[in-house]
Structure 1
């Protein structure tokens, strides 16, 4: 339990940093414009955490993951501007990711799992807000999976490499086929790279289940939106990255909880 608690704390802090990456990363990667208030140096470390509306610098009491957001009721203490719910969501998910990794997996594999989950949720946040899945997030997720396999605490290296290659080629094939049939973009390269990362962590046998679970989740969300009156047509953009990231995370966390026969059906080695 001590390891799980420590990983839960690390996940809370990691979720807080994930918010920094999700907010500033798109600017650094060229996906978004630099904030008007930002002058001089601008990166993940500088300027310090502040309210994007009024520029108020956040003190230590305003930087406690989850608790600060709840205490402030989602508002800036200086100007009262609304703080995006994504800040609370990523911090809470980070804490849950760390706790789950510590409870479900042995050390040191649990540490690697937490790192992957933090990368996945950051990638999902960036894609949902910008429509891009940057290499700066999908690349480390992929290479971390291959590294873990090489250390002997994850998949067999051959299965990890084959899973990564097959995942990338499969979605690239779907992307090219869609472009040929419809004459426009469907899936992006980032989706293929993210599925490659899933293949490196879960193996080639898991790829159909990742895609099916992601597609099912997307259909459920789209159906719920349509039921609330949102217009959904053939050309409606669906950012698939968050669903892929969620499916990879769900299948990874499910493996220790299901019988070996079910885990084998889901592609476990």
Structure 2
């Protein structure tokens, strides 16, 4: 940390470069975790075989996880060499196409890589050379992975939400010079419990009134994880920001004919965005709100 205090530019450079690299890994997580889960379900439940599922070519081997096989083209299964797997630059160099089959590569890959880098820079700018930056970077990139998976599959995997929650609880045990990194252990535990119970209550109340499910259990766990990181005091801000953003986007999609009133819209990305904003600027936003309502 002393090096970054002496040369602040080094912190931004390190976080930016690390963000590019992690952004590439986030694309792998968002793409592979749902496939890994689907493959596990298929092995455990033979009756699901009546529903068609076609994994990408490189997922058909006996081992498919985050580390193996190496990155490959989802269309033809050809392995992507190291020089063709440089974040953002390789996409530009190859003009967004697979070198083997010529299939266009989704713009999402370089976008996520660049976004992860920019988010890393913002975290470094807010927290500076501190252990908060290290923790906040992990928090940020985990939320990005969860948001991507929820957008694609309307799914928030336990394999990501639960470690995020336990990480927040364990982090609350750590303090620097007697000051917690983000929140105290007491507030973290209450935040995790309150986060889960708030959405659990909303879910059952909505189901009781309408007979339909309004959200998934993954949303409960994600808000519990956010509560563990932020403490219970910032949960109202997270709920308000995510609800407003979700409502605006949902109404816009319905108005433009992209969704019907009964279409399921993933809530995880809005929770993730609200949680990230609350971690970085939550206290300031709450203080501003208090001043406005006086």
The number of aligned residues is 263
SS at match of 2:172: helix
Does structure 2 retain, via aligned residues, the 8 Å contact 1:75–1:83?
A: yes
RMSD: 2.1
* Structure 2 partner of 1:20: 28
Instruction: Return the alpha-carbon distance in structure 2 between the equivalents of residues 16 and 81 of structure 1.
Output: 19
After superposition, give the CA deviation of every residue in 1:102-126 in whole Å (9 maximum; x if it has no partner): 2211411101100011110100111
Instruction: Return the alpha-carbon distance in structure 2 between the equivalents of residues 7 and 109 of structure 1.
Output: 13
Does structure 1 retain, via aligned residues, the 8 Å contact 2:56–2:77?
A: no
* 1:252 paired to 2:287: no
Instruction: Return the alpha-carbon distance in structure 1 between the equivalents of residues 217 and 98 of structure 2.
Output: 37
**Which residue among 3, 12, 24 is the counterpart of 1:4?**
12
Does structure 2 retain, via aligned residues, the 8 Å contact 1:101–1:111?
A: no
Instruction: Return the alpha-carbon distance in structure 1 between the equivalents of residues 33 and 285 of structure 2.
Output: 40
**Which residue among 55, 65, 68 is the counterpart of 1:35?**
55
Structure 1 residue 87 displacement after superposition: 1.4
Instruction: Return the alpha-carbon distance in structure 2 between the equivalents of residues 213 and 59 of structure 1.
Output: 42
**Which residue among 90, 113, 118 is the counterpart of 1:68?**
90
Instruction: Return the alpha-carbon distance in structure 1 between the equivalents of residues 282 and 224 of structure 2.
Output: 19
Q: Which runs of 5+ in 2 are unaligned?
A: 1-8, 43-52, 176-180
Q: Under a length normalisation based on structure 2, what TM-score does the superposition of the two structures give? A: 0.83
Instruction: Return the alpha-carbon distance in structure 2 between the equivalents of residues 212 and 259 of structure 1.
Output: 12
Instruction: Return the alpha-carbon distance in structure 2 between the equivalents of residues 128 and 88 of structure 1.
Output: 17
Q: Which runs of 5+ in 1 are unaligned?
A: none
* Structure 2 partner of 1:205: 233
Equivalent positions of 1:180-259 (< 5 A) are: 180-233=208-261, 235-255=262-282, 258=284
Instruction: Return the alpha-carbon distance in structure 2 between the equivalents of residues 8 and 264 of structure 1.
Output: 34
Q: Structure 1 residues 24-33 or 210-219, which shifts more? A: 24-33
Instruction: Return the alpha-carbon distance in structure 1 between the equivalents of residues 99 and 275 of structure 2.
Output: 37
Runs of 4+ in structure 1 deviating by more than 4 angstroms, as ranges, are: 31-34
After superposition, give the CA deviation of every residue in 1:185-212 in whole Å (9 maximum; x if it has no partner): 1111110111111111222121121111
Instruction: Return the alpha-carbon distance in structure 2 between the equivalents of residues 120 and 260 of structure 1.
Output: 22
After superposition, give the CA deviation of every residue in 1:153-177 in whole Å (9 maximum; x if it has no partner): 2211111111111011100111111
* 1:98 paired to 2:120: yes
* Structure 2 partner of 1:109: 132
Does structure 2 retain, via aligned residues, the 8 Å contact 1:4–1:101?
A: no
Q: Under a length normalisation based on structure 1, what TM-score does the superposition of the two structures give? A: 0.90
Structure 1 residue 40 displacement after superposition: 2.7
**Which residue among 164, 183, 186 is the counterpart of 1:141?**
164
After superposition, give the CA deviation of every residue in 1:4-43 in whole Å (9 maximum; x if it has no partner): 2212222211111111111111122237956252223211
* 1:80 paired to 2:106: no
SS at match of 2:173: helix
Instruction: Return the alpha-carbon distance in structure 1 between the equivalents of residues 163 and 239 of structure 2.
Output: 21
Instruction: Return the alpha-carbon distance in structure 2 between the equivalents of residues 263 and 220 of structure 1.
Output: 20
SS at match of 1:29: helix
Does structure 2 retain, via aligned residues, the 8 Å contact 1:255–1:263?
A: no
Q: Which has the larger radius of gyration?
A: 2
Does structure 2 retain, via aligned residues, the 8 Å contact 1:27–1:34?
A: no
